[in-house]
Amino acid sequence: MHWTILIKSHPDAHGNPVLQGLRVAAAACADGVEISLFLAEEAALLALHTEALSERQRVHHDLMAEIQELGVAIHVIGFEWLQEAKGQTLRPGIQIASMKTLVRQMKLSDQVITL
């Protein structure tokens, strides 16, 4: 079974959909589901390496690291926003992907979850 999880909400959004998406990804992966995880739009901020993290951001980053340890590749959509990030780099293991990559993964998936 293969799921594609697309997280596009802002990391500080009400209800914390980013946390929910990351938790679903970790739990599904631990339960044997193959996961493709994509960050897009406002969630793309999570792909950037930063030293100063809020408590919520630290939880998100810790979950992302756990997901990567489980063997899940995390992709960020869109290269143009990275150029606007003023010299910031991507977190280790985060891969830049295109919309084509996302669509291909969605076509292969048994389930697509968008948050």
For residue 105, the domain's CATH number is: 3.40.1260.10
How many domains are there within the chain?
1
What's the confidence (pLDDT) of residue 87?
62
**Over the stretch 33-75, which tens digit does the pLDDT of each residue have?**
999 999 998 898 888 877 777 888 889 999 999 999 999 999 9
Query: Token match 């030293």: residue?
Result: 51
pLDDT at 52: 76
Query: Residue 114: pLDDT band by 50, 70, 90 thresholds?
Result: very high
Residues with Cβ within 8 Å of residue 113, at least 6 apart in sequence: 3, 4, 5, 6, 21, 24
Calculate the alpha carbon distances from 90 to 33, 35, 70, 83 in Å: 26, 20, 19, 11
pLDDT at residue 76 tops 70 = yes
Q: What is the pTM of this model?
A: 0.89
Provide the angle, in degrees to the nearest 10, between the axes of the packed helices 55-69 and 17-30.
Answer: 20
> How do beta strands 34-39 and 2-7 pair?
parallel
Domain assignment of residue 55, given as a range? 2-114
90 vs 82 pLDDT, higher one: 90
